Structure 1
Amino acid sequence: MLKVIMLSAALLVLLVVTAGVSVAESSVDLPGFISIKGGQSHILALGDDGTVWGWGLNSEGRIGIEQNDVIVTQPARVEGVSNVTAIDSFFSDSMALRDDGTVWVWGESSRYFKNDSVGLQVPVQVPGISGVRQVVCGQWYGIALRDDGTVWAWGSNDHGQLGDGTQVSAHYYTTPVQVPGLSEVRLIATNGGTIFAVKADGVWAWGATHEAMTGWSGMGKKVYTSKPIQVVSLPGIVSCAVNNEQLYMVTENGEVWVKDGTSNGSLIPSRVFGLQDILLVNAGISHVVALGRDGSVYAWGENDHGQIGDGTTTDRQTPYKVDVPPAKTVFAGYYQTFIIDENDDLWGWGRDEIGELGAGKSQARTLPVKASFNGDAITPIETATTSTVTSQPQINTVTGQPASGPGFGANIIVVLGCLSITAILISRYAGGKR
C-alpha cells in the first residue's frame, strides 16, 4: 500500500541540520574502493585502507550510521570496525571480516548479539569464532570459512542452514557451530537460502534449494536438506556465484559452468559458451556478471532494470560484453552491476531509485555511469511521527527470530518539487521479488 507524505522544504532543511549523520562531504577524499557488496537497498564498499563505507537506504542500521530511515547518497563511514579485509551483505544485514580473523555484524540481525542500549548500526563481534578467511551473509544467518578448511554457521536454522541435520525455526543461534562432514573447503557462497561449499572434488550444498540443484530428479520444487550433499562434480573451481536458481562456477582454465536449479535444468553442470579466460563471476537476483583476465566485463540474464548495461531493458540469455574500461573486480547487486576499473573508479548500471549507483537518483540506468557522489549527502525521512511505515518485525525472544519473518525493509523514493518535497514510502513486505 502506498503512503504519501508531504514534507515542507523548511522541515526538510531542519531535518538535514539535526540529523547528525557523519557522511563524506565532496571535499573529503575517499579511499580507493577494492570491493563492493549490496543488500536489498544499500551498498557497502571496502576501502584499500581497511575502512568500510555505505550508502543507500539506512534502515535497521544496515549502513552503520545512527540516523535511521534516511537515504544516504554519499558514502558514510561505518564506525566501530577497522582493518577489514572482506565484506558482505544481504537484505538488511551487513558483515565484515577483520585482518585478525574475527567476524563483525551490524544491521537487523545484530540485535541478537547486543542489548537494547546499543544501536543496530554499531558493529558487534560474532562470539566464539576466529581464524576466519571468508564470510558470507545469508537471510538471517552467517557462514564462515576458517583457515583450517572447516565451515561454521550461526543464525536462523529454519531451512537447515546450520548443516548439522537439524531444522529448527524457533531460535536464532548466536554461537557459531561447525558444519559436520565438511573439511578442506576452498570457497563458500550463498543465495540467501542455500549454502554452497567448494572442495577439490566439486560443490556441496545444504539449506533451502531446488530438487534439480540437489541432483534429485523432480519438478523443480523447493526442498530442504539440513546436511551437506554433493551437487556438482567438477574439479578445479576457483570462483563461484549463485542467484535464485543457478550456480555458476569458474574453473582454473577460465571456463564458466552452470548448474541449473529450475524445473527444466540439467542435473549436471553445463558449459556457458561464449566465455573464455574468465577470472571470476558474481550473481544478482537474476543476472550474472563475469570478469575476464584481460579486464573485460560480461553480463547476462534478466535486464528489467538495465543491469546488463547494453542500453536496453531486454533480457539476454547469452553473455554480452559491456562497454566499460578494463575492470579489476565486478559485483552484481540485487538489480545493479558494479565494476572498479584500473584507475580505481567505480562504475555502475541498473536500478538507481535511491542513488545506489552514486550518480544521483534515476529509475534505471541502462548504460554504465561513473560514480561521482556529488549529490546531497542525506535525505532524512522522519517516519516516527507519521505512522506510514510499518514497524520493525517483532522479536519473540533474545534468541528468537522475527515473528513476521525476514523483511526487505521500506523503500523510500524522494521526488523533488519547487515548493515542497513529496516522499512516497512503499511499506515493508516480507519476501518476494519487487
Structure 2
Amino acid sequence: MRIKWLVFVGLFVVGCGSDLTKTPTQGPDMSPAPDMEERDAGGTADMAQDASSDMTEPDLGPDAEPDMTEPDMAEPDMQPDMTEPDMPPPDPCEGVECGMGECVDVGTGAQCECDEGYIPDGLSCVEIPIDPVLVVNLAGPAQTTEAGGSTTLSVRLSHAPSAAVSLPLSVSMTREAFLSPTSLTFTNSNWSTPQLITVTGRDDSLDDGNQTYTVTIGPSTSQDADFVGLTDSQSLLSLDGVCGNGLQDGTEACDAPGQSQQCAYGQQSCTVCNSSCQSVPGQVVGYCGDGIKQTQEACDSPGQSQQCAYGQQSCTVCNSSCQSVAGQVTGYCGDGVRQNQEACDVPGQSQQCAYGQQSCTVCNSSCQSVPGQVVGYCGDGVQQNQEACDVPGQSQQCAYGQQSCTVCNSSCQSVAGQVTGYCGDGIKQAQEECDGQAQCPSGQSGTATCNSSCVVDTSSCLSNVLKIDSGIDHSCAVMRTGQVKCWGRNNHGQLGDGTTQDRSTAVTATGITNAVDINLGSYHTCALLSNGGITCWGRNTSGELGVGNNQPQTGKVAVALIDDAIAIGAGGAHTCAVREDRTLWCWGNNISGQLGRGTTNLGPTPTAVSGITDAVQVEAGTAHTCVVNLTGEMRCWGDNTYGQIGDGTTLNRRWAPTFPNLVSVTQVDAGDYFTCARLNTGSLRCWGWNIRGQLGDGTYDSAETPQVVQNLVDAAFISTFGALSCAVRTNGLAMCWGVNLDQQVGNQSSADDIASPVTVTGLTSVEMISASTLNTCALLQSGEVKCWGANHYGQLGDGTTTDSATPVNVLNL
C-alpha cells in the first residue's frame, strides 16, 4: 500500500546569494542572517554586488545543484520578442526525482506522491522520522513582492499527538511581509492534514532592492511531551517593486519598459509596454488598406472587387494582401453564358415571332430581351396562308336544330361542327322541357304531353292535394284520391291511423277513400265525405266526434244523424256542419253556449241551431261559432270574453244573433278568442283578442268590433288558429301576423310578436294556407305542402323533429 504525501511546488526565484534550503531543528534560530544585519546597518555593498551577478540560467539536471547567485541586472535586453512561440507548455515534473515516490503534475506545479513510510520533503520523499517533527513544504514560489505578491507554506505533523499541539508563527522582517494565520493548532484528528500559511509581501517604501527574510514555525507547546519545542523555518525572498525587474507587480500592467513602441506592419492597432511599465497604444506604422502604399505593397485597395468589369477580357485588381493580381473575367454579350447584366445571350437570334405567336420575346444585339415582331397568328383577324379561316373562338357546336355545320377550330382550320340535337331526336336538350315523353310535376297527377315544340303541356295535370287544415300540433290533407293523410301529434289518435304514435311524415287515415273536405279542431279531426256523410276521430271528452258519447277514437267514426252535409267546421272541442237544406247543426262542448241551443249543456249528438236556414260556411273557434249566409251576412255566438263575437260587447251569447256591421263576407275563420272575415273586395276585418297582434291592425289592443287588417287588400284565402293569422294573396304570395315565438310567421324575424301582415319568405304560387298554434303549413299550386315553425311532435312533416324557420316539404304526400 502506498500512502500519497503531496506537496505543491511553484516557481523558485533565488537572489542575493542566500541559501534557501529548509533547515528543520528542534528549536528556532532567531538570529538574523549576516547579510540582513549588514543591510540593517545601512550597508549597500552587497546589494551592488548582487546587482552585478550573472543571470545565466543554471543547469537543473537531476543531480545538478542550482546556481543561487543573483542575476546580472545591469544591461538587460528590454526589446521584447513579438513572435508567438508555437510549442507545448513545459512539463513541471521534468528532471524531478521524488525518490520513494513519483512526481505528478497537479496543474499548479509538481508534487510528490510518496510510498508508505515516507513523507514529502520538497520535491523528494524522506523516511518518516522516529521522533515527531514538523513537515513543512513550500506550496508556492519562494518569494513575495512588495506589491502584495504572496506565497504559501504547508505544515503538518509527522506523528499523531495525544494532546493538542500549538505552533506560533513569526516573520523576521515584518516590514517586508506578514503572515496569515499567526498560529496553528494540530490535534489527534487533524495532525496529518496540511494547514496552510499565507505569506504576503508588503511595501516598505524603501528602494532597498530584494531582501531575504525568514518565516519561523514554532517552537511548539503541548501537553504531549514528545511534541514540545518542535520548530522549523523557511527563507523567502522579498522582491523590491521596480519597473523592469522582470516581474509584473504592484501597479504595473506590464514589465518590458524597453519594448519597441511601434506596431508591426499590418497591425491596425496594438498595445506596448512603456517606460513606466504601463500598457499604452502602440504607434501604427502602416497596414494594407490604410490608403498609403507601403514598401511591402504593390497597391493599397484591398476592398476592390476581384472581378473584371462586365465586357472586359482581362484586368488587374488589388487583392486583400495589397498585391496586384489578375482579375476574374465575368463575361460579355455573346459568350454563351447569361450574365447578371444580360436578359439573354443569343444576340444573333431572329427578331421575328414564329407564326401562331401573338407575342414573343427575342434577344437583341445587347443581350437584352425585347418584344419580337409579330408576323401573324390564328385569331388575328387576318386569314394567313396557313389558315382556312380565322375565327378560332367560334363555338364548335352546331346551333340547336342543325343536322350538320362547319366551324372554325382553334387552329383556324374548317372542321365539321358537333351536332347538339333538335326537338324530336328523343334526347331532352337544355332548350327543351321534354322530347317525346312528359310527366306531371311533383305533387300533381294526371297525364302530361310533350308538344311539337318540346314543351310540356300540363293542362291535364291536377294537384294531388285538394285541401289542408291544422289543429294545435297536427295537420291533415285531403288527397285527390279521396284519402286523408295526417302528420304531427297523435296523443289522442287525431291522425286517424289507429295508433297514438306521433308521426313526422304524412300517414294515411284508416278506411277513408271518399273525403272531399277536412276541418281540424284542437285535438280532433273531421272529414266531409262525397256522399254527404261526416267522419271524425281523435279526442272526444266533450262529445265533439258527434257519436252520442265521449269516448276517444283513434280511427274514423260516423257522425250520427247527418248524411247530407255540404260544409263542416271544427273548434276547440265542438263541431258544426251545414246541411243541404242550409240548416246548421252543432255538437260537443257547450260551456259558453257555442252550440247555439240557448243553453250551456253538452251535446254529444248533432242538433240544429235555431233560426239558421241560409248557411253557406261555418267556422268554430275555441268556444265560439260563426256562420256566413247566402247574402254575405255573418252571425256569431258563444264565448265573447274578448269581444270575438263582434257585437260591441263582451257578453256571451247562447243563440245566433244577426251581426249587421259587416256585409259581402265571402269567408270567415275563428282563432282561439278572435275572428277574421274576408270581404268580396279582398280586404280583411278582424276582432277580439289581440295580445299577440293577431288582429293585424298594428296594435296589441283587443277589439269588440271589426278592425281593418293593414297592408292587405287582395286576400284570396284566410286562416286563423291560436293567436296566429295568415292569408293568401291573389298573386300567390302568403302573409302572416300575430304570435312568432317559434318563427311561425315565416319572415325570418326574431320578434316574438308581429302586429301587421308580413310576407312569408321563400314561398310563391300558394294555393291555401293553414295556421296552427306553433307552426304554419301552405299548399302550393304545384301540389306540394310546406310547413315551418315548431316541430316538437313532427308537425312539419319533414321526417324530423327539428324546428325550421324556413318552409320544408311534407313527405309522403
> Counterpart of 2:56?
none
> Counterpart of 2:554?
121
> Counterpart of 1:270?
707
**Do residues 177 (structure 1) and 607 (structure 2) align?**
yes
Aligned partner of residue 666 in structure 2, secondary structure? strand
Aligned partner of residue 53 in structure 1, secondary structure? strand
Alpha-carbon distance between aligned partners in 2 of 1:240 and 1:300, rounded to the nearest angstrom: 17
1:362, CA displacement in angstroms? 4.4
Aligned partner of residue 803 in structure 2, secondary structure? strand
Aligned partner of residue 352 in structure 1, secondary structure? coil
**Do residues 143 (structure 1) and 573 (structure 2) align?**
no
The aligned runs of 1:340-419 (5 Å cut-off) are 340-372=779-811
> Counterpart of 1:91?
522
Alpha-carbon distance between aligned partners in 2 of 1:307 and 1:107, rounded to the nearest angstrom: 25
> Counterpart of 2:60?
none
Alpha-carbon distance between aligned partners in 1 of 2:664 and 2:808, rounded to the nearest angstrom: 35
1:261, CA displacement in angstroms? 4.3
Aligned partner of residue 224 in structure 1, secondary structure? coil
> Counterpart of 2:617?
187
1:216, CA displacement in angstroms? 5.7
**1:56 partner letter:** G
Alpha-carbon distance between aligned partners in 1 of 2:617 and 2:666, rounded to the nearest angstrom: 8
Aligned partner of residue 288 in structure 1, secondary structure? strand
Alpha-carbon distance between aligned partners in 2 of 1:225 and 1:201, rounded to the nearest angstrom: 21
1:51, CA displacement in angstroms? 0.4
**Do residues 322 (structure 1) and 760 (structure 2) align?**
yes
Aligned partner of residue 230 in structure 1, secondary structure? coil
Identity fraction in percent: 21
> Counterpart of 1:246?
674
**2:624 partner letter:** T
1:292, CA displacement in angstroms? 0.9
**1:160 partner letter:** G
> Counterpart of 1:64?
496
Tell me: CA distance 1:234–1:52, structure 2 relative to 1, closer, same or farther (3 Å). same
Aligned partner of residue 212 in structure 1, secondary structure? coil
**Do residues 197 (structure 1) and 635 (structure 2) align?**
no
Tell me: CA distance 1:178–1:368, structure 2 relative to 1, closer, same or farther (3 Å). same
**1:322 partner letter:** V
> Counterpart of 1:230?
658
> Counterpart of 1:131?
564
Alpha-carbon distance between aligned partners in 2 of 1:98 and 1:149, rounded to the nearest angstrom: 17
Q: Deviations over 1:244-263 (max 9, x none)?
A: 23321111111111223469
**Contact 2:531/2:564 (CA < 8 Å) preserved in 1?**
yes
Any unmatched runs of 5+ in structure 2?
1-443, 446-462, 692-700
Aligned partner of residue 655 in structure 2, secondary structure? strand
**Contact 1:104/1:124 (CA < 8 Å) preserved in 2?**
yes
**Do residues 153 (structure 1) and 568 (structure 2) align?**
no
> Counterpart of 2:483?
51
Alpha-carbon distance between aligned partners in 1 of 2:718 and 2:560, rounded to the nearest angstrom: 31
1:273, CA displacement in angstroms? 2.4
**Contact 1:360/1:373 (CA < 8 Å) preserved in 2?**
no
Alpha-carbon distance between aligned partners in 1 of 2:538 and 2:565, rounded to the nearest angstrom: 21
> Counterpart of 2:539?
108
* Deviates most, 247-256 or 360-369: 360-369
**1:294 partner letter:** N
**Do residues 162 (structure 1) and 557 (structure 2) align?**
no
Alpha-carbon distance between aligned partners in 2 of 1:325 and 1:332, rounded to the nearest angstrom: 17
Tell me: CA distance 1:49–1:373, structure 2 relative to 1, closer, same or farther (3 Å). closer
Alpha-carbon distance between aligned partners in 2 of 1:154 and 1:119, rounded to the nearest angstrom: 15
* Deviates most, 362-371 or 39-48: 362-371
Q: Deviations over 1:28-59 (max 9, x none)?
A: x9982222222222221111111001122222
Residue 745 of structure 2, aligned match among 308, 328, 334? 308
Aligned partner of residue 123 in structure 1, secondary structure? strand
Alpha-carbon distance between aligned partners in 2 of 1:211 and 1:56, rounded to the nearest angstrom: 30
Alpha-carbon distance between aligned partners in 1 of 2:645 and 2:679, rounded to the nearest angstrom: 20
> Counterpart of 1:391?
none
**1:238 partner letter:** T
**Contact 1:284/1:336 (CA < 8 Å) preserved in 2?**
no
**2:611 partner letter:** G
Alpha-carbon distance between aligned partners in 2 of 1:139 and 1:159, rounded to the nearest angstrom: 12
Alpha-carbon distance between aligned partners in 2 of 1:215 and 1:62, rounded to the nearest angstrom: 31
Higher strand share: 1
Tell me: CA distance 1:370–1:34, structure 2 relative to 1, closer, same or farther (3 Å). same
Tell me: CA distance 1:54–1:202, structure 2 relative to 1, closer, same or farther (3 Å). same
Any unmatched runs of 5+ in structure 1?
1-28, 375-434
**2:581 partner letter:** D
> Counterpart of 1:42?
474
Alpha-carbon distance between aligned partners in 1 of 2:603 and 2:573, rounded to the nearest angstrom: 8
Aligned partner of residue 366 in structure 1, secondary structure? strand
Alpha-carbon distance between aligned partners in 1 of 2:473 and 2:568, rounded to the nearest angstrom: 20
> Counterpart of 2:778?
339
Alpha-carbon distance between aligned partners in 2 of 1:281 and 1:331, rounded to the nearest angstrom: 8
1:272, CA displacement in angstroms? 1.4
Tell me: CA distance 1:217–1:256, structure 2 relative to 1, closer, same or farther (3 Å). closer
1:151, CA displacement in angstroms? 0.6
Alpha-carbon distance between aligned partners in 2 of 1:167 and 1:360, rounded to the nearest angstrom: 42
1:201, CA displacement in angstroms? 5.4
**Contact 2:482/2:516 (CA < 8 Å) preserved in 1?**
yes
Alpha-carbon distance between aligned partners in 2 of 1:56 and 1:122, rounded to the nearest angstrom: 16
**Contact 2:534/2:559 (CA < 8 Å) preserved in 1?**
yes
Q: Deviations over 1:273-306 (max 9, x none)?
A: 2112211110121111101112111111110011
1:235, CA displacement in angstroms? 1.3
**Contact 1:244/1:286 (CA < 8 Å) preserved in 2?**
yes
**1:74 partner letter:** T
1:85, CA displacement in angstroms? 0.6
Aligned partner of residue 510 in structure 2, secondary structure? coil
Aligned partner of residue 157 in structure 1, secondary structure? coil
1:172, CA displacement in angstroms? 4.0
Tell me: CA distance 1:270–1:60, structure 2 relative to 1, closer, same or farther (3 Å). closer
1:206, CA displacement in angstroms? 1.4
More RCO (CA 8 Å, sep 6+): 1
Aligned partner of residue 225 in structure 1, secondary structure? coil
**2:794 partner letter:** G
Alpha-carbon distance between aligned partners in 1 of 2:632 and 2:471, rounded to the nearest angstrom: 31
Alpha-carbon distance between aligned partners in 1 of 2:587 and 2:579, rounded to the nearest angstrom: 14
Tell me: CA distance 1:115–1:300, structure 2 relative to 1, closer, same or farther (3 Å). closer
1:228, CA displacement in angstroms? 1.1
**Contact 1:137/1:192 (CA < 8 Å) preserved in 2?**
no
TM-score (norm 1): 0.72
Tell me: CA distance 1:232–1:192, structure 2 relative to 1, closer, same or farther (3 Å). farther
1:373, CA displacement in angstroms? 5.4
1:211, CA displacement in angstroms? 5.5
1:152, CA displacement in angstroms? 0.5
> Counterpart of 1:210?
641
Alpha-carbon distance between aligned partners in 2 of 1:42 and 1:215, rounded to the nearest angstrom: 29
**Contact 1:36/1:44 (CA < 8 Å) preserved in 2?**
yes
**Contact 1:306/1:350 (CA < 8 Å) preserved in 2?**
yes
**Contact 2:646/2:688 (CA < 8 Å) preserved in 1?**
no
1:217, CA displacement in angstroms? 5.4
